[in-house]
């Protein structure tokens, strides 16, 4: 591990979007910064702190951390959350590392404060728990996206709420049966899935905070709200493809995707086929 005796007050402060290592991609959506980060060689990093709270999903390699007088070791497919401003000192393992980093803008702290939640404690998921798989779903949202319009904001926002709910200090509400508002939300999604929906809008419709909405929806439906909307759009696209005179570009826009490449990426992820391949099969080609 890096030197455990680094003195307080000597830490470098890294601003929003800044990390040691090579940034391979960076995007900002929904009040968060998403960074693909790589260290190609082993190294000890200087003691430092981050301006923003962040999640770090470790995709490759091994990584050591000195944090609050404790040494931690991370292997691939682990994730940790760190609050803003807390110094730590890290060491990259012998084969280098690759991270997917998610920095949280202060606006999220304000949104969480509405349900008395705070982001003050570190959290590690080293056992393949719920936080890791939410982080991997978020990673998939950005992989292969050619542009910002291909990143679905509702899916990203839903996953952010769910990830933050896992690490925030908040009152845990036990819900044992589906609330009445869930039916209203499902009806709204069935009608408006083509539109650009937001969790704030859906929360107002349900009369609950978006954090509560996100958690209860996944508990009783089995999908996040963004995933559920994608399934509705894909089914509608499949039906529209039975009309051969309508182009895939037209179908993409009609069912709520940004463009044809966005439809193709989401469709392939959900079905294992391209829209063109599906259409050929469905039309008996």
Note the pLDDT of residue 8. 43
Cβ atoms of residues 33 and 16 within 8 Å: yes
Note the pLDDT of residue 184. 95
Query: Which ranges of the chain have pLDDT less than 50?
Result: 1-9
How large is the greatest C-alpha to C-alpha distance in the chain, in angstroms?
A: 70
Cβ atoms of residues 141 and 156 within 8 Å: yes
| Interval 205-228: pLDDT, tens | 999 999 889 989 998 998 899 999
Cβ atoms of residues 33 and 17 within 8 Å: yes
Cβ atoms of residues 237 and 275 within 8 Å: yes
pLDDT > 90 fraction of the chain, expressed in percent and rounded: 69
pTM for this prediction: 0.81
Note the pLDDT of residue 285. 59
191's CB contacts (< 8 A; 6+ apart) are none
| Interval 121-136: pLDDT, tens | 899 999 888 899 999 9
| Interval 162-184: pLDDT, tens | 999 889 876 566 778 899 999 99
Q: What is the mean pLDDT of the chain?
A: 89
Q: What residues does each domain of the chain span? A: 12-163, 173-285
Note the pLDDT of residue 164. 93
Tell me if 12-163 shares its fold with 173-285.
Answer: no
Cβ atoms of residues 72 and 2 within 8 Å: no
pLDDT > 70 fraction of the chain, expressed in percent and rounded: 92
Nearest Cα neighbor of 87 from 104, 75, 74, 69 is: 69
Note the pLDDT of residue 27. 93
- d(C-alpha 252, C-alpha 257), whole Å: 5
- d(C-alpha 147, C-alpha 79), whole Å: 26
- d(C-alpha 206, C-alpha 219), whole Å: 16
Homologous superfamily in CATH for domain 12-163: Jelly Rolls (2.60.120.10)
- d(C-alpha 13, C-alpha 15), whole Å: 6
Task: Determine the CATH number of domain 173-285.
Answer: 1.10.10.60
Report which secondary-structure segment, H or E, holds 13: strand 12-14
Note the pLDDT of residue 282. 84
Q: Which two tokens stand for residue 214?
A: 């996100």
Q: Which residue has the tokens 């209203």?
A: 184
Report the SS3 class of residue 94.
Answer: coil
């Amino acid at each position: 591990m890096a030197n455990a005796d680094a003195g307080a007050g000597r830490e470098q402060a890294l601003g929003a979007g800044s990390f040691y290592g090579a940034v391979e991609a960076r995007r900002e959506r929904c009040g968060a910064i998403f960074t693909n980060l790589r260290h190609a060689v082993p190294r000890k990093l200087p003691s430092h702190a981050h301006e923003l709270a962040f999640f770090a999903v470790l995709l490759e390699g091994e990584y050591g951390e000195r944090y609050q007088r404790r040494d931690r070791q991370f292997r691939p497919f682990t994730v940790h959350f760190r609050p803003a401003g807390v110094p730590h000192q890290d060491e990259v393992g012998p084969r280098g590392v690759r991270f997917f980093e998610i920095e949280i803008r202060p606006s999220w702290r304000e949104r969480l404060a509405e349900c008395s939640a705070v982001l003050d404690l570190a959290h590690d998921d080293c056992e393949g728990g719920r936080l890791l798989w939410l982080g991997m779903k978020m990673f998939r949202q950005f992989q292969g996206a050619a542009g910002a319009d291909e990143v679905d904001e509702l899916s990203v926002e839903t996953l952010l709420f769910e990830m933050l709910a896992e690490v925030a200090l908040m009152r845990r509400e036990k819900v044992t049966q589906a609330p009445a508002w869930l039916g209203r939300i499902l009806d709204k999604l069935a009608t408006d899935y083509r539109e650009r929906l937001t969790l704030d809008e859906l929360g107002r419709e349900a009369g609950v905070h978006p954090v509560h909405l996100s958690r209860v929806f996944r508990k009783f439906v089995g999908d996040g709200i963004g995933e559920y909307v994608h399934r509705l759009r894909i089914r509608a696209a499949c039906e529209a493809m039975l009309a051969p005179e309508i182009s895939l570009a037209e179908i993409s826009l009609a069912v709520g995707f940004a463009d044809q490449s966005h439809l193709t990426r989401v469709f392939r992820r959900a079905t294992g086929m391209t829209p063109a391949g599906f259409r050929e099969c469905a039309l008996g080609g």
